[in-house]
Amino acid sequence: MECRVLSIQSHVVRGYVGNKSASFPLQVLGFEVDSINSVQFSNHTGYSHWKGQVLTADELHVLYEGIKLNNVHHYDYVLTGYTRDTSFLEMVVDIVQELKRANPNLVYVCDPVLGDHGSMYVPQNLYPVYKNKVVPVADIITPNQFEAELLTGKNISTEKDAVEVMDLLHAMGPDTVVITSSDLPPRLGDRFLVSLGSQRHVRPDGSRTTERVRIEVPKVDAVFVGTGDLFAAMLLAWTHHYPNDLKTACEKTFSVMHHVIRRTISYAHELAGPGRRPSPPQLELRMVQSKADIEDPAIVTEATLIS
Amino acid sequence: MRTAVMECRVLSIQSHVVRGYVGNKSATFPLQVLGFEVDSINSVQFSNHTGYAHWKGQVLTAEELNVLYEGIKLNKVNHYDYILTGYSRDTSFLETVVDIIKELKKANPSLVYVCDPVMGDLGAMYVPENLLPIYKNKVVPLAEILTPNQFEAELLTGRKISTEDDAIKVMDLLHEMGPDTVVLTSTDLPSKRGDQFLVALGSQKIRKPDGTSSSQKICLDIPKVDAVFVGTGDLFAAMLLAWTHHHPNDLKTACEKTVSVMHHVIKRTITYANGVAGPGNKPSPAQLELRMVQSKADIENPAIVLEAKVLQKSLDQKR
């Protein structure tokens, strides 16, 4: 497989978020991963302390210029995630647009990280940039419920609402939308959460069709960091292998997440000891230990087609 | 039955390139594939390595390196089994690396520092000259495993290598400077297998409980390749780390595996590069980037393609 991804995300010295979370699994699956590190921090910001440096929009541009001058700015995928800086995000948009001119088949996988559980955790002025500039050039987006509601201005209370919101997101640009988590009531009980996906296809005869899926995912009693970055990377990989089968792509992606998370939580509890809550360092994803699951995930979640 | 998962954490302080495989890009994936936890500090971020027609990017200052280390320390996660360093151009950066290693060794006295003392090749230095005294006086004394080429070994010891005996003497001098494991990654000594081969040598000091030490000296004839690769030295040091970890008292096996991995990656790379360049065309630097992700199976379990020769087991009655 010859498939090159440009991933523009954070780098942490220790742990698995941003590029650290995305690169290894994609490489293990045979993707060539070029990575621009938007920051270099000692560790993610959920630890007691964190220190490091950020890349400016200018510096990002300089790195891209180097790639361009060598005539190697040809990518099959671009992958982006957590950003805090509007000028950086706008530079990313310019780069994506140029890369799409170089390769019109380029697929931009975008995690529109804005917030969760009802509140934004990035500066508010990123919202119009995502809405008006980023999402329109995205081909695959992975918002959570809050981000999906924010981007469309519509609340999700029922599955029907979710379907409408995903259709609104399609209308903004991306043909593939996965709402990574929602607080819709799961059919399998309260130990699960509901995720949804929607993919627009054009049939050979030119007519359009939409595949919609609903996935019930086992809940985990812990706060993980970097799982969203792993999710977007694995959705990239599995939609690449199943471009017209969102159901299978989602089953594989959610299953990988499940294996990595379960391995991580077992290990974290072992380290912390009985009755103790694991710390952020102890909860770092067990990424290298999950290589076999990443390569060939046993399917443990079920997606059902919905209309 | 559950097999024990290896818990081994490496701190690698090397370059990052957006595209391609040098420095941390070359070292990280193979080590992760072999199950090592790799923490990486990127000493620079460049678009690509400096052998391309163009390159652009930013460097990390000694101060910024210190800040990153401070973050790790404040969280009390400054515990490593290995440190790995390579190409550096900045004396103050290198000196900060030395300080960090000393501190990490206080935190874990069993820490193993794997050092590629990158200074030059083929008779010329390609880093600033003022790095030599720092390597000689501060870095090498801290290293447990050293991977100089012939030029670097000669520079560090002040002694030329014209014969196998010279090489043995130079490796012993390097042991006296610090590292118990030394691999001369390439030399221009004549190979008994002919001029399509280059000679590499290794020496590992084994300290016995009674205070005496012996050393195992080995020699390898490595098939030459008709191309200039970048990043292979970084891959070599990383894989030597991995295979000496699994074979800590058997430098022969560790080197056979390391050199074999190199062979598979290089063969795959050169085949691909020639294919992309087309018949009669010399592949470009971009085309010669190591086929790293495609070599995952070879990295995990390298088929051994050469045998190291044990030269001698010498007994030194040193205490």
**Residue B142 near chain A (CB below 8 Å):** no
For residue B231, how many C-alpha atoms fall within 13 Å in the half-sphere facing its CB? 30
**Residue B242 near chain A (CB below 8 Å):** no
Residue of A nearest to B290 (CA): A32
Q: How confident is the model at residue B313 (pLDDT cuts 50, 70, 90)?
A: low
Q: At what angle do helices B23-33 and A18-28 cross, to 10 degrees?
A: 60
pLDDT of residue B318: 47
Average pLDDT over residues B207-219: 90
Q: Say whether B45 and A42 touch across the interface (CB within 8 A).
A: no
- The H-or-E segment that residue A198 falls in is strand A192-202
**High-pLDDT (> 90) share of chain B, %:** 91
Residue A230 burial (CB < 10 Å; 0-12/13-18/19+)? buried
Given the residues A229, A245, A293, A296, the one annotated as active site: A229
Q: Which amino acid is present at A78? A: V
Q: How confident is the model at residue A264 (pLDDT cuts 50, 70, 90)?
A: very high
**Residue B37 near chain A (CB below 8 Å):** yes
- How far apart are alpha carbons A152 and A143 in whole angstroms? 11
Q: Which domains are present in chain A?
A: 4-275+282-305 (3.40.1190.20)
Q: What is the pTM of this model?
A: 0.97
Residue of A nearest to B285 (CA): A70
- How far apart are alpha carbons A92 and A90 in whole angstroms? 5
Q: How confident is the model at residue B48 (pLDDT cuts 50, 70, 90)?
A: very high
**Residue B56 near chain A (CB below 8 Å):** yes
Average pLDDT over residues B224-232: 89
CB B52 within 8 A of CB B19: no
Average pLDDT over residues A233-260: 97
Number of CB atoms found within 10 A of residue A209's CB: 9
pLDDT of residue B2: 52
Interface test with B, best of A42, A44, A54 (most B CBs within 10 A): A42
pLDDT higher than 50, residue A116: yes
Q: Strand pairing partners for B204? A: B181, B216
Q: Which two structure tokens, joined as six digits, stand for A33?
A: 């991963």
**Mean residue pLDDT across chain B:** 95
Average pLDDT over residues B122-126: 92
Given the residues B116, B221, B234, B298, the one annotated as active site: B234
pLDDT tens per residue, range A192-220: 999 999 999 988 899 989 999 999 999 88
Is the ipTM of this structure higher than 0.95? yes
pLDDT tens per residue, range A44-81: 999 999 999 999 999 999 999 999 999 999 999 999 99
CB A216 within 8 A of CB A193: yes
CB A184 within 8 A of CB A158: yes
Report how many Cβ contacts below 8 Å link chain A to chain B: 127
Task: Give B9-184+230-259's CATH code, choosing from 3.30.2400.10, 3.40.1190.20, 3.30.565.10, 1.10.10.10.
Answer: 3.40.1190.20
Residue B122 burial (CB < 10 Å; 0-12/13-18/19+)? exposed
For residue B268, how many C-alpha atoms fall within 13 Å in the half-sphere facing its CB? 17
Backbone angles phi, psi at A284, to 5 degrees: -60, 140
Separation in Å, CA of A183 to nearest CA in chain B: 34
B234 classed as catalytic: yes
